[in-house]
């Protein structure tokens, strides 16, 4: 997607602090971290959000999910962490490219969010 911020980050057109990459997924540090560890996991193929996941393209979301425990290990999140995917305007999604937040590095509240 030509005008998509995360597609541009995947393409290397916008710099990011990479923490993990494989053939399908890129993970990088959130520019405005809400916790000591705050990483965004994005598929290299554009999908708008979880709301656009279907049986045909579910593997794209799965690429991200398989990467999450690897990234958590790399980051030393041995005591747990939170995974969030905001969907659409009411869900607080600001970048319309599917992504999963990995939040951790401290004891998080039980009330969701960050």
Which residues form the interface with Zn ion (CB under 5 A)?
1, 4, 6-7, 46, 97
38 is annotated as an active-site residue:
no
Determine whether 84 is exposed, middle or buried from the number of CB atoms within 10 Å of its CB (0-12, 13-18, 19+).
middle
Question: Considering only CA atoms, which of 60, 11, 20, 12 is closest in space to residue 40?
Answer: 20
CB of 92 vs ligand 5GP, minimal distance in Å: 5
Candidates 38, 46, 97, 99; catalytic one? 99
Other C-beta atoms closer than 10 Å to the C-beta of 102 total 26
In the complex, minimum distance from the CB of residue 32 to ligand 5GP, in angstroms, rounded to a whole number: 4
Which of Zn ion, ligand 5GP, none lies near 83, with the C-beta cut-off 5 to 8 A by kind? none
Q: Which does 58 bind (CB under 5 to 8 A by kind): ligand 5GP, Zn ion, none?
A: none
In terms of C-beta density within 10 A (0-12 exposed, 13-18 middle, 19 or more buried), how is residue 95 classed?
middle
Which chain residues interact with ligand 5GP by CB under 6 A?
A: 5, 14, 16, 28-32, 40, 86, 92-95
24 binds, among ligand 5GP, Zn ion, none (CB under 5 to 8 A by kind): none
Cα 29 to Cα 66: distance, rounded to the nearest angstrom: 18
**Active site residues per annotation:** 99
């Amino acid at each position: 997607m030509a005008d998509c911020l995360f597609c541009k980050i995947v393409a290397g057109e916008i710099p990011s602090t990479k923490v993990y990459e494989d053939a399908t997924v890129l993970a990088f540090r959130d520019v405005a971290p809400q916790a000591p560890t705050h990483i965004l996991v994005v598929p290299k193929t554009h999908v708008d959000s979880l709301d656009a996941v279907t049986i045909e393209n579910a593997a794209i979301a799965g690429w991200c999910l398989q990467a999450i425990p690897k990234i958590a290990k790399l980051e030393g999140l041995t005591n747990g962490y939170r995974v969030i995917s905001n969907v659409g305007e009411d869900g607080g999604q600001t970048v319309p490219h599917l992504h999963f937040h990995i939040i951790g590095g401290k004891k998080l509240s039980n009330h969701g969010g960050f």
